Amino acid sequence: MTQLPLRRAAGSSGSTIAKTALLAALWAALLAAPFASLARLDAQTREQQLLRQPPVIAGVPVIDPAERLQLATANSEYPVTPGDMYRITYLRAGALVETEAVVENDYTVNLNIFGRVDAGGMTFTELRREIILIVERSIPRSLPAVSMISVGVFQVRVTGQIAQSRSVTAWGMTRVSDVVREHLTAYSSIRRIAIVSHTGESEAYDLFRALDLGDQSQDPYVRPGDTVRIERAARVVYIGGEVNQPGRLELALDESVREIKQYARGTTLNADLSRVRVTRSVGRGVRTYFVDLSDDDSDFALRDGDVILVPSRLSQRPVVYVEGLVTAPPELETTAPPPVIPGVPAAAPPPHNRVVVPIGVGDTLYGVLTQMQPGISPRADLSRAQVLRAGETLPLMVSLEQLLYDFEPEYDIELQPFDRIVIPRDPNTPPEGEPSVLITGGVNAPGRYPVLVGMDAYTHIRLAGGFDRELNSSERYRVYDAEGTPKPSDAPIEAGDHIEVARNSFVYNFNRYFPIIATGVGFVATIVATLTLFGL
């Protein structure tokens, strides 16, 4: 009798657990969704993110009533608007008479004893002149005057490709750009905006031409009863690189490369239009095109979402490499530096770096050194630096230290593409707190260098400027650990190791030992000659 309730209870518990698990999974999915969106956003390029931003219309609407009144009074084109209030003064029988009049919603103005005036389609300047004539005809020599007390306001409906339809408060000098400025989305078009009047008549406008080309006819004043309808943007691209005004552009359906250049305010002097990079999303991937846009009649059709980057001719300049204890100066940085976080120490510069320096025809060693001077580490040894060309060391009349700090033009040399300027570490300044390896013998810059984790001895020898061909002819070396025990030559280098590069060059050993041998042989020959001379 007790088993049935127990089975029901177990079933109920299992159902509860299943529901709880399902709810937990749903909550996890909901919480993960924003982070997934952020991850996708981070994966996009900066240009792709800008494509998904709404168009920007500069300026702010005029809200202050006093400022509106001043603008309406000063502007001869201010249209009569329902709600406008005027003050009319004139003389009658020598007494000053003052009265007020308001513009009704049918654009008529009640002038009391002077009747009514239809002000539809008139400006305030025209209406004031009309009222003055009416008063003067009725009361000669009455010296009438008309002034504006306040301006009328009304609402305009905004619909179409925006987040939500809404009504916007406007006044007599509110333009279409003022109505749509704060309500545009990434898919809103500013090339196709329609104004539907209270009578149902529709007129299309290209707001971009007003904003970019100054055509005010495409940014008209709105009127009471108008509805502004925004169409969907059909073709939005991003243009950047060597153009005078990079940014997001919405293109009309009939526009081509010529208009693109015009809207970007032309290209810079360094622009290379023969190989423009166009990145396009295709399905789930991205396809890149290299297009010649130097001809305005190019038939390459741009599509919605294309990213157009105009490269620089300077990016194709030949380069030299500066290696060792150097970092790139700000003008040579290709990426933004990491942000500075208060309380967190900045990352230390790499112990061995390689900086690519573009050069031009006639650039010299001194010119590159002065350009790199802010990035040369205080622990660098310029006196032992070398210049390598095609793997061979160039003969220098003076050291790089003397060339940089005691410059004489005759000591300078002209650089060629792909030359390497190797600046080693000063062996008298070992790395502080860094694992190091001692490299001695037949290398260009013996000394103590940081350990490159997982790398072999051959790689570390390059830190010391590579093998000195005058000292080492066979690239032979030995590796010892911190205790002086030999290690395999291909074993990864560890902290405290010693790499001893052999000095086995015949020329080096001959020049080193021949004077001693020659001196000894000469001494022996002298003794023998002396003994022979005396008959001993």
pLDDT digits (tens, 9 = 90+) for 403-456: 999 999 999 999 999 999 999 887 766 665 678 888 998 888 888 888 888 889
Nearest to 449 by CA among 394, 384, 368: 384
Read off the pTM.
Answer: 0.57
The torsion region of residue 68 among left (phi > 0), alpha (psi -120 to 50) and beta comes to: alpha
pLDDT tens profile 451-503:
888 889 988 888 888 888 888 878 889 999 988 899 998 899 998 899 999 88
Per the model's pLDDT, the better-predicted residue between 298 and 90 turns out to be 90
Report how far residue 76's alpha carbon sits from residue 96's, in angstroms, rounded to the nearest whole number: 27
> Do residues 383 and 444 touch, judged by C-beta distance below 8 A?
no
Would you state the pLDDT for residue 349?
Answer: 53
Q: Name, in order, each residue with C-beta under 8 angstroms of 109's C-beta and a sequence gap of 6 or more.
A: 86, 101, 102, 103, 116, 117, 119, 127, 131
| CA distances from residue 511 to 468, 475, 505, 517 in whole angstroms, order as listed | 15, 20, 10, 11
Report how far residue 386's alpha carbon sits from residue 443's, in angstroms, rounded to the nearest whole number: 12
> Do residues 357 and 321 touch, judged by C-beta distance below 8 A?
yes
Report how far residue 446's alpha carbon sits from residue 438's, in angstroms, rounded to the nearest whole number: 8
Q: Lowest-confidence range among 319-333, 486-500, 517-531?
A: 517-531
Query: What does DSSP assign to residue 434?
Result: S
| Residue 181, both tokens | 């400025």
Query: What does DSSP assign to residue 382?
Result: G
Dihedral sign for Cα 478, 479, 480, 482, please: positive
Rg, the chain, Cα only: 42
What is the identity of the amino acid at 461? I
What is the identity of the amino acid at 321? Y
3-state secondary structure (DSSP) of residue 213:
helix
> Do residues 192 and 231 touch, judged by C-beta distance below 8 A?
yes
- What string of H, E and C letters represents the secondary structure of 438-455? EEEECECCCEEEECCCCC
Per the model's pLDDT, the better-predicted residue between 158 and 532 turns out to be 158
Q: Name, in order, each residue with C-beta under 8 angstroms of 21's C-beta and a sequence gap of 6 or more.
A: none
| CA distances from residue 271 to 47, 89, 245 in whole angstroms, order as listed | 19, 66, 13
Strands (E) located in 385-460? 386-389, 392-393, 420-423, 436-441, 447-450
